[in-house]
Structure 1
Amino acid sequence: MRSRAPKNPLTPLQKRFIRSGFESLDDQETIELLLSLCHPRKCRQLAKACIEQFHGLREFLSASTQELQRAGLSPSCIFSVRLLHELPEEVLRQKIIEKPVYKSAEEICDYLRYSMRDLKIEVFKVIYLNKRNEIIDAVDLFEGTLDSIPIRPREIMESAIAHNATNLIFAHN
């Protein structure tokens, strides 16, 4: 019996990505590649419109659901964009949370940098550690406005006690 060729062969853009990765693509082509998964027929036009609206890949990936809807993306495509944006943060979070002992400030900084870089409001994050410097949890404890955030020491202490934390790492964007 002969095997049949797949009904949906790869596009030239997909082939180029498989050959050379993201380095061979500009921001618009990367967005087009992502949109081809949910809007195969109009991915090029949508990618062009998204670049005009968001001015780059990072801005596109960190756009709100409402902004993506206004750009003409379907709910399934918005889901794909949100998933792609939040997946690396989750991987980094698990990497630090599942580590038995906190040893590298660099790993913590990588996680914090990625998780906080695209925030549009002020956020105060707390990483809770036990007495052996094992990471218990990482929580956005306070949120503010565009340029200010109220920090309440009493709530920090109550939260630390609730987590049975003996050490805390604070981060603020």
Structure 2
Amino acid sequence: MSSFAEHPLLFDEAPAQKGAPSYLADHRSRLRARFAEGGADAMPDYELLELLLFRIVPRRDVKPLARALIDRFADVGGVLAASADNLAKTPGIGPAVASELKVTEAVVRRCLRTRALNRPIVSSWQALIDYCHATMSRETTERFRILFLDTKNTLIADEEQARGTVDHVPVYPREVVKRALELDAKALILVHNHPSGDPTPSDADISMTWQIAEACTVLGLTLHDHIIIGHGTETSFRGQGYL
């Protein structure tokens, strides 16, 4: 099967010359060596993105493209979380590159989900937080998820219950507990995001959480926590004393 790079019309840039220049090969070798020696922590975001783009666009200088993507979407996480349409608006990004970046995002999310699911929450709390950040922190509208747990506090289901606007998401306590009973769950963790990046609970967040907590108590369910995901940070209702 031919590679995307063999079809230059898929990209919004000039066709590649035959054979990569020696300086480009040397640059790529240096970046790969630095990654091999120090891992991702030894590299800024644009260089890490370059490593990824090497495989997607093998015979072009992708450094300007990587910098342009970071300038527009802030960091690697923002690049991968961007929609294919928004990615394609960046000069140099055609449908094929946008598609490959979205595949990469899907692989990352699947790996984080696998780490978090089917394990007791106590031993995989950070994995769960990482998964929630990967799936929600870059969303431009509020999303409300419910994590359903069994008697051993093992995650048995993770479902998006509602989608809202930039600063509000409708949540109905009756629907939350109804779904828990359908799944035979014994405990819940609520998760939603604040697109503003500030995970501070609003009065509406607090009121809604208390309503769900009361409904859970009546039906013998445990509400472990409500987590609000911001940009690189989160707020735990349990940790802040709201529950």
TM value normalised by structure 2:
0.59
> SS of the residue aligned with 1:37?
helix
Separation in structure 1 between the aligned mates of residue 65 and residue 131 of structure 2, nearest angstrom: 31
Match of 1:66 in 2: 85
Separation in structure 2 between the aligned mates of residue 169 and residue 154 of structure 1, nearest angstrom: 15
How far the C-alpha of 1:48 sits from its partner, in A, is: 3.0
> SS of the residue aligned with 1:128?
strand
Q: Displaced runs of 4+ in structure 1, greater than 6 A?
A: none
- Over 3 Å counting, the alpha-carbon distance change for 1:58 and 1:96 in structure 2 is closer
Residue 36 of structure 2 is aligned to residue 12 of structure 1: no
- Over 3 Å counting, the alpha-carbon distance change for 1:13 and 1:116 in structure 2 is same
Amino acid at match of 2:131: Y
Bigger shift: residues 102-111 or 12-21: 102-111
Q: 1:33 aligns with which of 41, 51, 56?
A: 51
Match of 2:62 in 1: 43
Which structure 1 segments of 5+ residues have no match?
1-6
Match of 1:147 in 2: 167
Q: 1:159 aligns with which of 170, 173, 179?
A: 179
Q: What percent of counterpart residues are identical?
A: 28
Bigger shift: residues 9-18 or 88-97: 9-18
> SS of the residue aligned with 1:150?
coil
Q: How many residues end up aligned between the 2 structures? A: 166
- Over 3 Å counting, the alpha-carbon distance change for 1:107 and 1:31 in structure 2 is closer
Per-residue CA distance 1:81-104 (angstroms, 9 max, x = gap): 2233343332232222222x4333
How far the C-alpha of 1:123 sits from its partner, in A, is: 1.1
Amino acid at match of 2:73: F
Separation in structure 2 between the aligned mates of residue 39 and residue 110 of structure 1, nearest angstrom: 29
> SS of the residue aligned with 2:57?
coil
Which structure 2 segments of 5+ residues have no match?
1-18, 194-243
Separation in structure 2 between the aligned mates of residue 110 and residue 57 of structure 1, nearest angstrom: 15
Separation in structure 2 between the aligned mates of residue 132 and residue 57 of structure 1, nearest angstrom: 36
TM value normalised by structure 1:
0.80
Separation in structure 2 between the aligned mates of residue 55 and residue 171 of structure 1, nearest angstrom: 24
Match of 2:221 in 1: none
Match of 1:93 in 2: 113
Per-residue CA distance 1:48-68 (angstroms, 9 max, x = gap): 322332243332222111111
